[in-house]
Amino acid sequence: MTERVLVKNLAALADGPVTVSGWVETVRDQKKVQFIVLRDESGAVQLVTPATRELVEDDPTSAAKLALTETISGLAHGSFVSVTGELKHDERVKLGGLEVKISSLEVLSAANPETPIAADSSLDKRQDWRFLDLRNPKQNLIFKIQTTFLHAMREYWVDNDFIEIHTPKLMASASESRAELFEVEYFDTTAYLAQSPQFFKQMAQSAGFGKIFEVGPAFRADPSFTSRHATEFTSVDSEISWIESHEDVMKLHEDLIVAGFSAVKAKHGEAIKELFDVEVTVPATPFPRIPLAEAKEIIKERGYEVPRSDDDMDPEGERQIAAYVRETYGHEFVFLTDYAASIRPFYHMRHADNPGLTNSYDLIFNGVEISTGAQREHRVDVLEAQMRDKGMEPKELDFYLDFFRYGAPSHGGFGMGLARVLMLMLHESSIREVTYLFRGPTRLAP
Ligand code: AMO
């Protein structure tokens, strides 16, 4: 048997013997000829063979031909096969202008004949059968895009001397709101699943690492069923020392987004257009920056008043400001900056001249928050005061406060939900479509 060739590489080969392996997408079993569309991780190809329906006495090869025909007639969709045959370029073949004339076919793993999902199955049903759903080229492309996006960001980090860290996901305390904590039995005590690497990425600044990143899981016991919430998600985090303000963090953030989007557009732009009907745009820098208070005024003028008394933005407000930014600047991204201290965590640095505001931002992409970033408070006395201000007891986070008792540089960073970026980039309706295996309040399997 010749060495396996990926379907995408067939076009560059001359006519001749090849072996392709993958799963059966369709079988067309005609009286005189049989066609298989075989798909692998790189594409689909048509396989063809004349059908032999009965033994021919004076043809010693007819028994083998009959066996091949019968095997193909019985092939269930989804079976994994390996096929050796003659590659033939032929413009008349709609699928890629080539086909493989089958000489031998080995069924490596036969599928059950009844496929449990169809193209029109509900999202929930497709999630039940995620491994079959992922055979769809559109789903497959999402994870190629994710790979390229993360690789480009990682390249940026590595080229710029960032250190990669892996912080523990079993924690002794909350890192964000206590309301969204998963508790885990931990020998004779209770552990919590990390909601964010927040405290430990800050620790790296006190450790003198300078610039760090982490891509890892984060857990939130959030009972909501929105299109943008999961109970477990991949968080993309970065943190840098020696900053003047959150402006430095935003600069880093937009550079990373540009690196990621440039790579995705270059490598997958055409496929994304074909399968998602979306034109990926590499955003221009600097991204628009609008202080939150100003953003609220802008959307009020557009006729929408955020119905919240707590100074925050709501999802409709995010959509409205995104529409304004698109119309005014032709941009898909906007940094909303300077959130009120009342709605930001204790660790955000407050404005020197206005303690009611923080050196923080949210990054909105196509109308949805994808990230939160901030300059952190590194002066331990101020940090303790800000904790008390929020009704927290500094003693409870003594290990964290220690990070700032032995010298710490000014620093800041951000956390970004990977699935949200992919969902908004591809104009998908839910993060469930772009998460390998989604976890939500009612989904723990597969
Ligand atoms: P925040 O809580 O805003 O900030 O989270 C940062 C980003 O993570 C994503 N995200 C989620 N994605 C899916 N499902 C969820 N339940 C979910 N919750 C959050 C969002 C969000 O913008 N420590 C800070 C970050 C920082 O300041 O560095 C934090 O975790 O895209």
- Pocket probe mutation, ligand 1, options 199, 200, 233, max atoms within 8 Å of Cβ: 233
Q: What is the pTM of this model?
A: 0.96
Our answer on whether the CB atom of 372 is closer than 6 Å to any ligand 1 atom is yes
- pLDDT of 175 reads 80
Our answer on whether the CB atom of 180 is closer than 6 Å to any ligand 1 atom is no
Question: How many angstroms does the Cα of residue 312 sit away from the middle of ligand 1?
Answer: 15
Question: Could you give the CA distance from residue 297 to residue 319 in angstroms, rounded to a whole number?
Answer: 14
Our answer on whether the CB atom of 375 is closer than 6 Å to any ligand 1 atom is no
Nearest to 111 by CA among 68, 70, 75: 75
Alpha helix positions (H), 111-163: 123-128, 130-133, 137-159
- pLDDT of 179 reads 82
Minimal-distance CA residue to ligand 1 atom 20? 417
- Pocket probe mutation, ligand 1, options 420, 424, 425, max atoms within 8 Å of Cβ: 420
- pLDDT of 311 reads 81
Give the number of the atom of ligand 1 that is nearest the alpha carbon of residue 421.
31
What letters, b where the CB count within 10 A reaches 16 and e where it falls short, cover 206-218? beebbbbbbbbeb
Question: Could you give the CA distance from residue 290 to residue 12 in angstroms, rounded to a whole number?
Answer: 51
Q: Binding site: which residues?
A: 176, 220, 369, 372, 376, 417-420
- pLDDT of 177 reads 76
Our answer on whether the CB atom of 18 is closer than 6 Å to any ligand 1 atom is no
Our answer on whether the CB atom of 413 is closer than 6 Å to any ligand 1 atom is yes
Our answer on whether the CB atom of 220 is closer than 6 Å to any ligand 1 atom is yes
Tokens for 260?
A: 């990621």
Our answer on whether the CB atom of 241 is closer than 6 Å to any ligand 1 atom is no
Nearest to 193 by CA among 165, 162, 216, 172: 172
Our answer on whether the CB atom of 197 is closer than 6 Å to any ligand 1 atom is no
- pLDDT of 312 reads 87
- pLDDT of 328 reads 98
Question: How many angstroms does the Cα of residue 362 sit away from the middle of ligand 1?
Answer: 10
- pLDDT of 306 reads 86
Question: How many angstroms does the Cα of residue 196 sit away from the middle of ligand 1?
Answer: 7
Our answer on whether the CB atom of 371 is closer than 6 Å to any ligand 1 atom is yes
Strands (E), 289-439: 289-291, 333-337, 350-351, 354-358, 360-365, 368-375, 411-417
Our answer on whether the CB atom of 252 is closer than 6 Å to any ligand 1 atom is no
pLDDT tens column, 364-382: 999 999 999 999 999 999 9
The answer to whether the CB of 372 falls within 8 A of the CB of 414 is yes
What letters, b where the CB count within 10 A reaches 16 and e where it falls short, cover 169-187? bebeebbbeeebbeeeeee
- pLDDT of 394 reads 95
- pLDDT of 309 reads 66
Our answer on whether the CB atom of 268 is closer than 6 Å to any ligand 1 atom is no
Paired strand residues for 350: 358
Our answer on whether the CB atom of 198 is closer than 6 Å to any ligand 1 atom is yes
Q: Binding site for L-aspartate: which residues?
A: 176, 220, 372, 376
pLDDT beneath 50: ranges in the chain:
none
Give the chain's domains with CATH numbers: 7-109 (2.40.50.140), 128-433 (3.30.930.10)
Question: How many angstroms does the Cα of residue 245 sit away from the middle of ligand 1?
Answer: 20
Tokens for 272?
A: 């994304």
- pLDDT of 1 reads 56
Our answer on whether the CB atom of 260 is closer than 6 Å to any ligand 1 atom is no
Q: How far is CA 152 from CA 21, 121, 331, in A?
A: 30, 34, 21
The answer to whether the CB of 387 falls within 8 A of the CB of 394 is yes
Minimal-distance CA residue to ligand 1 atom 10? 417
Question: Could you give the CA distance from residue 200 to residue 378 in angstroms, rounded to a whole number?
Answer: 14
Nearest to 419 by CA among 429, 411, 409: 429
DSSP element (H, E) containing 50: strand 43-50
pLDDT tens column, 418-429: 999 999 999 999
Q: Binding site for ATP: which residues?
A: 369, 417-420
Question: How many angstroms does the Cα of residue 298 sit away from the middle of ligand 1?
Answer: 25
